[in-house]
Amino acid sequence: MSHHIVEARDLAYAYPDGTRALKGVSFRITHGESVALVGPNGAGKSTLLLQLNGFLRPTQGEVRIGNLPITPKTLDQIRRTVGVIFQDPDDQLFMPTVREDVTFGPLNMGFPRQEAESIAEAVLAQVGMSDIADRAPYHLSAGQKRAVAIAAVLAMSPDILVLDEPSSHLDPKGRRRLIDLLHGFSHTKIIATHDLDLALDLCPRTIVIADGRVREDGPTLRLFQDQALLEECALELPLRMQGCPICHPQHPPSPSPGR
Protein backbone atom coordinates (compact mmCIF):
# COMPACT_ATOMS: atom_id res chain seq x y z
CA MET A 1 0.00 0.00 0.00
CA SER A 2 2.75 2.39 -0.97
CA HIS A 3 0.32 5.01 -2.23
CA HIS A 4 -0.50 6.10 1.29
CA ILE A 5 2.76 7.96 1.39
CA VAL A 6 2.80 11.74 1.18
CA GLU A 7 6.06 13.35 0.36
CA ALA A 8 6.96 17.01 -0.17
CA ARG A 9 10.34 17.80 -1.66
CA ASP A 10 11.68 21.30 -1.30
CA LEU A 11 8.24 22.69 -1.95
CA ALA A 12 7.98 26.42 -2.64
CA TYR A 13 5.02 28.48 -3.69
CA ALA A 14 4.45 32.15 -4.38
CA TYR A 15 0.97 33.59 -4.97
CA PRO A 16 0.40 35.53 -8.18
CA ASP A 17 0.71 38.79 -6.22
CA GLY A 18 4.25 37.78 -5.19
CA THR A 19 3.61 36.67 -1.62
CA ARG A 20 5.93 33.78 -0.89
CA ALA A 21 3.81 31.45 1.19
CA LEU A 22 6.09 28.40 1.10
CA LYS A 23 9.85 28.63 0.97
CA GLY A 24 11.12 25.09 0.65
CA VAL A 25 9.16 22.56 2.66
CA SER A 26 10.21 18.93 2.81
CA PHE A 27 8.70 16.05 4.75
CA ARG A 28 7.70 12.47 4.28
CA ILE A 29 4.60 10.96 5.83
CA THR A 30 4.28 7.21 5.62
CA HIS A 31 1.36 4.84 5.55
CA GLY A 32 -1.09 5.09 8.43
CA GLU A 33 0.62 7.97 10.16
CA SER A 34 -1.33 10.78 11.79
CA VAL A 35 0.50 14.04 11.56
CA ALA A 36 -0.47 17.39 13.03
CA LEU A 37 0.46 20.51 11.11
CA VAL A 38 0.73 23.44 13.49
CA GLY A 39 2.00 26.96 13.27
CA PRO A 40 0.92 30.57 13.60
CA ASN A 41 -1.65 32.17 11.31
CA GLY A 42 -0.18 32.97 7.94
CA ALA A 43 2.64 30.46 8.31
CA GLY A 44 1.60 28.68 5.13
CA LYS A 45 -0.42 25.76 6.50
CA SER A 46 -3.43 26.31 4.28
CA THR A 47 -1.25 26.87 1.24
CA LEU A 48 0.51 23.61 1.98
CA LEU A 49 -2.79 21.74 2.20
CA LEU A 50 -3.88 23.18 -1.15
CA GLN A 51 -0.67 21.79 -2.63
CA LEU A 52 -1.42 18.27 -1.40
CA ASN A 53 -4.46 18.00 -3.63
CA GLY A 54 -3.05 19.83 -6.62
CA PHE A 55 -5.19 22.97 -6.28
CA LEU A 56 -2.05 25.05 -6.45
CA ARG A 57 0.93 24.11 -8.56
CA PRO A 58 4.25 24.53 -6.76
CA THR A 59 6.62 27.13 -8.13
CA GLN A 60 9.50 24.89 -7.10
CA GLY A 61 9.90 21.33 -5.84
CA GLU A 62 7.15 18.72 -5.93
CA VAL A 63 4.60 16.75 -3.97
CA ARG A 64 4.39 13.02 -4.41
CA ILE A 65 1.45 10.93 -3.34
CA GLY A 66 2.58 7.34 -3.21
CA ASN A 67 4.82 6.98 -6.19
CA LEU A 68 3.03 9.58 -8.26
CA PRO A 69 4.10 13.19 -8.63
CA ILE A 70 1.20 15.62 -8.87
CA THR A 71 0.83 16.58 -12.51
CA PRO A 72 -2.22 17.47 -14.55
CA LYS A 73 -2.26 13.88 -15.79
CA THR A 74 -2.29 12.27 -12.40
CA LEU A 75 -4.60 14.85 -10.86
CA ASP A 76 -7.75 12.73 -11.05
CA GLN A 77 -6.11 9.79 -9.37
CA ILE A 78 -4.46 11.99 -6.77
CA ARG A 79 -7.77 13.62 -5.87
CA ARG A 80 -9.33 10.22 -5.45
CA THR A 81 -6.52 9.18 -3.13
CA VAL A 82 -6.34 12.36 -1.07
CA GLY A 83 -9.58 13.46 0.57
CA VAL A 84 -9.54 17.07 1.69
CA ILE A 85 -11.91 18.27 4.39
CA PHE A 86 -12.06 22.04 4.24
CA GLN A 87 -12.19 24.40 7.15
CA ASP A 88 -15.69 25.73 6.48
CA PRO A 89 -18.05 22.79 6.00
CA ASP A 90 -20.50 25.17 4.30
CA ASP A 91 -18.14 25.34 1.35
CA GLN A 92 -18.13 21.62 1.10
CA LEU A 93 -21.81 20.84 1.46
CA PHE A 94 -23.15 22.45 -1.65
CA MET A 95 -25.97 20.11 -2.61
CA PRO A 96 -29.57 20.57 -1.44
CA THR A 97 -29.68 17.57 0.91
CA VAL A 98 -27.14 15.63 2.91
CA ARG A 99 -27.79 12.52 0.86
CA GLU A 100 -27.32 14.32 -2.44
CA ASP A 101 -24.12 15.80 -1.13
CA VAL A 102 -22.61 12.51 -0.03
CA THR A 103 -23.52 10.84 -3.33
CA PHE A 104 -21.95 13.68 -5.31
CA GLY A 105 -18.47 12.17 -5.25
CA PRO A 106 -19.43 8.56 -6.03
CA LEU A 107 -21.70 9.71 -8.88
CA ASN A 108 -18.83 11.68 -10.37
CA MET A 109 -16.66 8.62 -10.07
CA GLY A 110 -19.14 6.85 -12.30
CA PHE A 111 -21.08 4.73 -9.81
CA PRO A 112 -24.70 4.16 -10.77
CA ARG A 113 -27.15 6.02 -8.54
CA GLN A 114 -28.23 2.99 -6.59
CA GLU A 115 -24.69 2.06 -5.64
CA ALA A 116 -23.81 5.65 -4.86
CA GLU A 117 -26.76 5.74 -2.48
CA SER A 118 -25.72 2.59 -0.68
CA ILE A 119 -22.21 4.03 -0.31
CA ALA A 120 -23.80 7.15 1.14
CA GLU A 121 -25.83 5.09 3.58
CA ALA A 122 -22.71 3.30 4.71
CA VAL A 123 -20.53 6.36 5.27
CA LEU A 124 -23.34 8.29 6.93
CA ALA A 125 -23.78 5.38 9.31
CA GLN A 126 -20.05 5.39 9.91
CA VAL A 127 -20.11 9.01 11.09
CA GLY A 128 -23.41 8.50 12.92
CA MET A 129 -25.48 10.77 10.70
CA SER A 130 -27.87 8.29 9.09
CA ASP A 131 -30.97 9.94 10.50
CA ILE A 132 -30.33 13.34 8.93
CA ALA A 133 -29.80 12.07 5.39
CA ASP A 134 -32.73 13.99 3.97
CA ARG A 135 -32.10 17.25 5.77
CA ALA A 136 -30.81 20.37 4.06
CA PRO A 137 -27.21 21.20 5.03
CA TYR A 138 -28.04 24.72 6.22
CA HIS A 139 -30.20 23.43 9.03
CA LEU A 140 -27.50 21.31 10.60
CA SER A 141 -25.43 22.11 13.65
CA ALA A 142 -21.72 22.79 13.22
CA GLY A 143 -20.86 19.32 14.49
CA GLN A 144 -23.31 17.65 12.13
CA LYS A 145 -22.01 19.67 9.20
CA ARG A 146 -18.48 18.62 9.99
CA ALA A 147 -19.46 14.97 10.27
CA VAL A 148 -21.35 15.09 6.97
CA ALA A 149 -18.42 16.80 5.26
CA ILE A 150 -16.20 13.99 6.48
CA ALA A 151 -18.73 11.42 5.27
CA ALA A 152 -18.83 13.08 1.86
CA VAL A 153 -15.08 12.71 1.58
CA LEU A 154 -15.09 9.16 2.94
CA ALA A 155 -17.58 8.24 0.23
CA MET A 156 -14.77 8.69 -2.27
CA SER A 157 -12.83 6.04 -0.27
CA PRO A 158 -9.60 8.02 -0.11
CA ASP A 159 -6.44 6.57 1.41
CA ILE A 160 -5.25 9.85 2.86
CA LEU A 161 -7.36 12.33 4.78
CA VAL A 162 -6.33 15.97 4.90
CA LEU A 163 -8.21 18.08 7.43
CA ASP A 164 -8.05 21.85 7.80
CA GLU A 165 -8.95 23.03 11.31
CA PRO A 166 -11.42 20.22 11.93
CA SER A 167 -12.34 21.34 15.44
CA SER A 168 -13.09 24.99 14.69
CA HIS A 169 -16.64 26.12 15.58
CA LEU A 170 -17.38 22.89 17.43
CA ASP A 171 -18.73 22.78 20.95
CA PRO A 172 -16.69 20.67 23.39
CA LYS A 173 -18.91 17.64 23.01
CA GLY A 174 -18.90 17.86 19.22
CA ARG A 175 -15.16 18.20 19.33
CA ARG A 176 -14.81 15.10 21.46
CA ARG A 177 -17.08 13.18 19.11
CA LEU A 178 -14.96 14.29 16.17
CA ILE A 179 -11.77 13.15 17.88
CA ASP A 180 -13.29 9.75 18.60
CA LEU A 181 -14.46 9.49 15.02
CA LEU A 182 -11.06 10.35 13.57
CA HIS A 183 -9.45 7.92 15.97
CA GLY A 184 -11.41 5.14 14.36
CA PHE A 185 -9.99 5.76 10.88
CA SER A 186 -7.03 3.81 9.64
CA HIS A 187 -6.29 6.37 6.93
CA THR A 188 -3.13 8.36 6.77
CA LYS A 189 -4.15 11.66 8.37
CA ILE A 190 -2.74 15.13 8.00
CA ILE A 191 -4.45 17.61 10.31
CA ALA A 192 -3.75 21.33 10.24
CA THR A 193 -4.89 22.76 13.54
CA HIS A 194 -4.47 25.31 16.31
CA ASP A 195 -6.06 22.88 18.71
CA LEU A 196 -3.01 21.33 20.35
CA ASP A 197 -5.09 19.13 22.62
CA LEU A 198 -6.64 17.59 19.55
CA ALA A 199 -3.20 17.16 18.04
CA LEU A 200 -2.04 15.51 21.23
CA ASP A 201 -4.97 13.11 21.12
CA LEU A 202 -4.78 12.15 17.49
CA CYS A 203 -1.30 12.68 16.17
CA PRO A 204 1.85 11.05 17.48
CA ARG A 205 3.85 13.23 15.13
CA THR A 206 3.78 16.99 14.60
CA ILE A 207 5.25 19.24 11.97
CA VAL A 208 5.62 22.86 13.04
CA ILE A 209 5.43 25.29 10.13
CA ALA A 210 6.68 28.84 10.57
CA ASP A 211 7.26 31.45 7.93
CA GLY A 212 6.85 29.06 5.03
CA ARG A 213 9.36 26.53 6.32
CA VAL A 214 9.36 23.42 8.46
CA ARG A 215 10.46 24.77 11.82
CA GLU A 216 10.38 21.44 13.64
CA ASP A 217 9.32 17.89 12.87
CA GLY A 218 9.10 15.24 15.55
CA PRO A 219 7.06 13.46 18.22
CA THR A 220 4.15 15.61 19.34
CA LEU A 221 4.79 15.19 23.04
CA ARG A 222 8.38 16.31 22.80
CA LEU A 223 7.64 19.36 20.66
CA PHE A 224 4.82 20.49 22.90
CA GLN A 225 7.11 20.48 25.91
CA ASP A 226 9.43 22.91 24.20
CA GLN A 227 8.16 26.16 25.74
CA ALA A 228 10.43 28.34 23.64
CA LEU A 229 9.26 26.77 20.43
CA LEU A 230 5.60 27.14 21.35
CA GLU A 231 6.13 30.74 22.36
CA GLU A 232 7.88 31.49 19.10
CA CYS A 233 5.12 29.98 17.02
CA ALA A 234 2.31 31.82 18.82
CA LEU A 235 1.09 28.57 20.34
CA GLU A 236 0.18 27.63 23.85
CA LEU A 237 0.89 24.58 25.94
CA PRO A 238 -2.01 22.15 25.62
CA LEU A 239 -4.35 22.66 28.55
CA ARG A 240 -3.88 19.21 29.91
CA MET A 241 -0.13 19.72 30.06
CA GLN A 242 -0.50 22.91 32.07
CA GLY A 243 -0.50 22.68 35.85
CA CYS A 244 -4.03 23.47 36.90
CA PRO A 245 -3.90 26.94 38.45
CA ILE A 246 -7.08 26.25 40.40
CA CYS A 247 -6.01 22.93 41.93
CA HIS A 248 -2.40 23.99 42.44
CA PRO A 249 -2.45 27.67 43.29
CA GLN A 250 1.26 27.59 44.24
CA HIS A 251 2.08 27.50 40.53
CA PRO A 252 1.66 30.98 39.22
CA PRO A 253 -0.46 30.75 36.06
CA SER A 254 1.76 30.71 33.03
CA PRO A 255 1.86 34.04 31.27
CA SER A 256 -0.49 33.48 28.41
CA PRO A 257 0.65 34.96 25.17
CA GLY A 258 -2.39 36.78 23.90
CA ARG A 259 -3.42 35.73 20.46
Partner 1 sequence: MKQRSMEDRFLEFGLIDQLARADSRLHRLDPRAKLLTTLFFCALVVSFPRYSVLAILPLLLYPVLLSAMGELPLAYVARRTLPALPFAFMVGIFNPWIDTKPVASLGPLLISGGWLSFTSILLRCILTVSSAIILVASTGISQICLAFQRLGAPHLFSLQIMFLYRYLFVLTAEAVQMVRARNLRTFGRRGLGPGPFASLIASLLIRSLDRAQNIHRAMVARGFRGEIQPLRQSRWRRHDTFFVLLCILACSTIRLWNLPQAIGGWLLQLLP
- 137 belongs to the binding site for partner 1 (CB under 8 A): yes
Q: Which residues contact 1 (CB under 8 A, 6 or more apart)?
A: 31, 159
Which one of the spans 27-35, 99-107, 166-174, 184-192 is the region binding partner 1 (CB under 8 A)?
A: 99-107
For the CB of residue 61, give the shortest distance to partner 1 in the complex, in Å.
21
- 135 belongs to the binding site for partner 1 (CB under 8 A): yes
- 97 belongs to the binding site for partner 1 (CB under 8 A): yes
- Toward partner 1, which CB reaches closer, 57 or 139? 139
CA distance readout (Å), 3 to 53, 73, 172, 192? 14, 16, 35, 21
For the CB of residue 63, give the shortest distance to partner 1 in the complex, in Å.
15
User: 98-108 and 113-126 helices cross at what angle (nearest 10)?
Assistant: 120
Q: What are phi and psi of 164, to 5 degrees?
A: -105, 115
Q: What are phi and psi of 116, to 5 degrees?
A: -60, -40
For the CB of residue 196, give the shortest distance to partner 1 in the complex, in Å.
25
Which one of the spans 59-67, 106-114, 176-184, 216-224 is the region binding partner 1 (CB under 8 A)?
A: 106-114
CA distance readout (Å), 126 to 75, 136, 145? 28, 19, 14
Q: Which residues contact 167 (CB under 8 A, 6 or more apart)?
A: 175, 178, 179, 193, 195, 198
For the CB of residue 246, give the shortest distance to partner 1 in the complex, in Å.
34
Instruction: Let me know the angle formed at the C-alpha of 126 by 183 and 84, rounded to the nearest 5 degrees.
Output: 65
For the CB of residue 42, give the shortest distance to partner 1 in the complex, in Å.
16
Other residues' Cβ atoms within 10 Å of the Cβ of residue 34: 22
Contact positions with partner 1 (CB under 8 A) in 37-96: 50, 53, 55, 76, 79-80, 83-84, 86, 88, 90-92, 94-96
- Toward partner 1, which CB reaches closer, 161 or 210? 161
Which of these, 59, 86, 84, lies nearest to 212 by C-alpha position? 59
**Which residues of this chain interact with partner 1, rule CB under 8 A?**
50, 53, 55, 76, 79-80, 83-84, 86, 88, 90-92, 94-97, 99-100, 104-105, 107-109, 113, 134-139, 152-153, 156
